[in-house]
Amino acid sequence: MASPVTWERRGRVSVITVNNPPVNALAQPVREGMLRCFNESMADPAVEAIVLTGGGRTFMAGADINEFGKPMREPGLGKVIDGYESSEKPTIAAVHGTPLGGGLEVAMGCQARVAHPKTRLGLPEVKLGLLPGAGGTQRLPRLVGVERALEMITSGDPIPAPLALELGLVDEIAEGDHVAAAIAYAERVLDGQATAGATRARDEKVQGVDEAIFDKAKEKLARVARGREGPLRCVEAVRGSVTLPFDEGITNERRLFVECHDSEESPALIHAFFSERAANKIDDVPKTTPTRPIKSAAVIGAGTMGGGIAMNFANVGIPVRIMDTDRASLARGLGVVRGNYQRAVDRGRMPQAALDARMELIQGVSDMDALAEADIVIEAVFEDMPVKQKVFTALDKVMREGAILATNTSTLDIDAIAATTRRPEEVIGTHFFSPANVMRLLEIVRGSKTSAEVIASAMALARTIRKVGVLVGNCDGFVGNRMFHEYIRQAQFLVERGALPEQVDRAAYTFGWAMGPLAVSDLAGNDVGWYIRKRHIAEGLYKGGGYTGAVADALCEQGRYGQKVGKGWYLYEEGSRRGSPDPEVEEIILRVSREQKVNRRTFDDEEVLARLHGALVNEGSRILEEGFAQRASDIDVIYVNGYGYPAWRGGPMYHAERQGLASIASSIAEFRKDEPALWPESPLLERLAREGGSFKDAN
């Protein structure tokens, strides 16, 4: 087999090129080839300098994900980098695309760097619970300074080439062909007109740094990366660049890398990473399924959700029309959209020109006929079946043939909505999560007649608008909300039987959730849950018992709808999103408990979490068995990206397997003895627990 790395001599310069499509991942054959080509170039007396580059769309994008979790095969990346760094012949990296992780570490190991203007450079290992393990935590501080290195390594976010030049991470921006520019740079080095030198030669330690910067960084990370250890280890690795000689800093970095690798955090984050990729694979919708181009869009409803959905299209250059028959609501909605963009401008995240360009792509209309030529229309009106059916009856008459008709419903039957049209095969659910312009998840709901082409098109659209699309089946609440309904029921049960809201939410928050379940209810609006509970009662969902909404109902009856009115499960000061316990809520809880003749008892946090998470896993298993989710990892993707579940725990299904399905099933069986209506049977979970199986066996 031909090597993925080759070299050729261009005058006095050897050009070593890596060709390992699609992103030149640093697999063992690549590392071996880079070392071989380097040694051959060093042995050639006609070669006086070396340029290292990558073929295709990027320089080198990092480690080969197929090697994750496997023993490293020689040569290690550190050995390869050491050769290029200590070379007596100048080594120049010609970088383009996205030199990330190990790719940037290779570039930093070269003695100079020339970059294409659109290059983005970064060390994203922390996003997988790891840290740069091939000298990145030692070389980056020497090139850009400790403060910037800490920021880049602990966030994992890349920076553009112009900023990299300003910081000293690259030495030159190429005006044209970046490889030709790197060769020219090498020639200037040979002629004494430019400089190139090993990073470690600058200082044995980074000098002049107040070490308090590291403690401050860890204090900040304890807040923004709550519960995680990986970012804190990154700080300690960078600290080594200041406190240790270079070689000892490398040893310290490797020790910390192994700690990260062997932690529970990194495998969970790697699981989350691979799960997002797997979610794009749909058994009965092959990659060859044609997709429909979406060059224009329409949204019905100018509320918070509708405006947020429209922003997703404008953000990627797709013109979109927002339709609302109430002109005042339309104007107000467009104002909210502009305000969202303006805040981004005010915070320096977006130039004014981008705001203006995006607002030009968003047009408000009050007549449905104005939507007729859109490639996709997304209905985002009130969560009420008759209202949505009326909208789709009208859309069926107005929209052109071949347009995709999508509903943003979060719980309602897609087939019942599609049945009001003459083209149910073109109807699909696109469940955005609020705020729609921020949240990554897009639950894509297939109806019984939705065509494969429409499904493939919706999944492709998710990628286009930078969402994580997950295909789910058509049941009440789909996957995310069906499970969350059980999670909330347990939270309400705990409050009715003896806990207080702040204990329930504290236990969930301490575990790593972005918010506790009752705080989430306040954020979403308690009236929304109230409306759904009323529908479920009318549909006979609680005929067998298990209704836990009495306290929540009592709150709503007193107008305690949550943050939007300043009071719900908690009390909110004007303008604050942080709630505080309200004695009035405790009085309501105690009153309802008395009315229901409940003997309140204490719950420890362990039982609180066992009930909350047991409810999620039990219902997730039922969903998987019934075929409404294609794989357990899809459920994890939904919860990590849409519900604030901590990514560093992998997702509820993954975490359950780490805990042990037998243990989870045993706890549920005990809870079921006293409250059978709250714990419906899950034959799949019970079988896997009994047989020692895995959710992968049931995908």
- Write down the pLDDT at residue 557: 96
Strands 297-300 and 5-10: unpaired
Q: Write the pLDDT tens digit of every residue in 580-630.
A: 999 999 999 999 999 999 999 999 999 999 999 999 999 999 999 999 999
Tell me which of 234, 261, 288 is where a domain ends. Answer: 261
- Write down the pLDDT at residue 638: 98
Residue 212 has pLDDT above 70, yes or no: yes
Residue 467 and residue 516 in one domain: no
Asked if residue 646 lies in contact with residue 264, where contact means CB atoms within 8 angstroms, the answer is: no
Neighbours of 688 (CB within 10 A): 23
Burial 29-56 (b: 16+ CB within 10 A, else e): bbbbbbbbbbeebeeeeebbbbbbbbbe
Q: Write the pLDDT tens digit of every residue in 232-251.
A: 999 999 999 999 999 999 99
Residue 109 has pLDDT above 60, yes or no: yes
* Residue whose pair of structure tokens reads 């504290």 in the numeric block: 506
Residue 65 has pLDDT above 80, yes or no: no
CB within 8 Å of 596: residues ≥ 6 apart? 496, 550
Residue 248 and residue 104 in one domain: yes
Q: Is 460 inside a domain boundary?
A: yes
Widest Cα–Cα separation across the chain? 93
Model confidence band, residue 416 (pLDDT cutoffs 50, 70, 90): very high
- Write down the pLDDT at residue 642: 95
Residue 461 and residue 489 in one domain: no
Q: Write the pLDDT tens digit of every residue in 347-359.
A: 998 999 999 999 9
Asked if residue 386 lies in contact with residue 534, where contact means CB atoms within 8 angstroms, the answer is: no
Q: How far is 319 from 239, CA to CA, in rounded Å?
A: 48
CATH number (domain holding residue 646): 1.10.1040.50
CATH number (domain holding residue 254): 3.90.226.10
Asked if residue 19 lies in contact with residue 4, where contact means CB atoms within 8 angstroms, the answer is: yes
Residue 80 has pLDDT above 70, yes or no: yes
For residue 567, the cross-strand partners are: 562, 571
Tokens of 530: 């109230």
- Write down the pLDDT at residue 73: 86
Q: Write the pLDDT tens digit of every residue in 561-584.
A: 999 999 999 999 987 888 999 999
Tokens of 372: 């007729």
Tell me which of 205, 236, 261 is where a domain ends. Answer: 261
CB within 8 Å of 247: residues ≥ 6 apart? none
Model confidence band, residue 203 (pLDDT cutoffs 50, 70, 90): low
Residue ranges with strand state E in 128-253: 159-160, 172-173
Q: Checking phi first, is residue 430 left (phi over 0); if not, alpha (psi -120 to 50) or beta?
A: beta
Q: Is 389 inside a domain boundary?
A: yes
Asked if residue 179 lies in contact with residue 15, where contact means CB atoms within 8 angstroms, the answer is: yes
Predicted TM-score of the model (pTM): 0.92
- Write down the pLDDT at residue 202: 53
- Write down the pLDDT at residue 195: 87
Q: How far is 602 from 540, CA to CA, in rounded Å?
A: 31
Q: How far is 442 from 466, CA to CA, in rounded Å?
A: 10
Q: Write the pLDDT tens digit of every residue in 283-310.
A: 999 999 999 999 999 999 999 999 999 9
- Write down the pLDDT at residue 342: 96
CB within 8 Å of 581: residues ≥ 6 apart? 500, 501, 502, 570, 571
Average pLDDT score, the chain = 94
Neighbours of 657 (CB within 10 A): 19
Q: Is 43 inside a domain boundary?
A: yes
Asked if residue 441 lies in contact with residue 412, where contact means CB atoms within 8 angstroms, the answer is: no
Percent helix, percent strand, percent coil in the chain, to nearest 5? 55, 10, 35
**pLDDT more than 90, % of the chain:** 90
Residue 468 and residue 484 in one domain: no
The domain tally of the chain equals 3
The phi and psi torsions of 304 (rounded to 5 degrees) equal -55, -45
Residue 575 and residue 676 in one domain: yes
Q: Is 170 inside a domain boundary?
A: yes
Tell me which of 472, 505, 534 is where a domain ends. Answer: 472
Neighbours of 543 (CB within 10 A): 10
Q: Is 290 inside a domain boundary?
A: no
Residue 229: give the domain boundaries.
5-261
DSSP letter, residue 400: P
Residue 493 and residue 347 in one domain: no
- Known catalytic residues are 105, 125
Residue ranges with strand state E in 254-411: 297-300, 320-323, 362-365, 376-379, 404-407
For residue 442, the cross-strand partners are: 432, 469
Model confidence band, residue 696 (pLDDT cutoffs 50, 70, 90): confident
Residue 391 has pLDDT above 90, yes or no: yes
Whether residue 22 is preceded by a cis peptide bond, meaning omega within 30 degrees of 0, is yes
The phi and psi torsions of 384 (rounded to 5 degrees) equal -140, 125
Q: Write the pLDDT tens digit of every residue in 225-236.
A: 999 999 999 999
Q: Write the pLDDT tens digit of every residue in 627-668.
A: 999 999 999 999 999 999 999 999 999 999 999 999 999 999
Average pLDDT rounded to a whole number, residues 124-152: 96
Q: Is 289 inside a domain boundary?
A: no
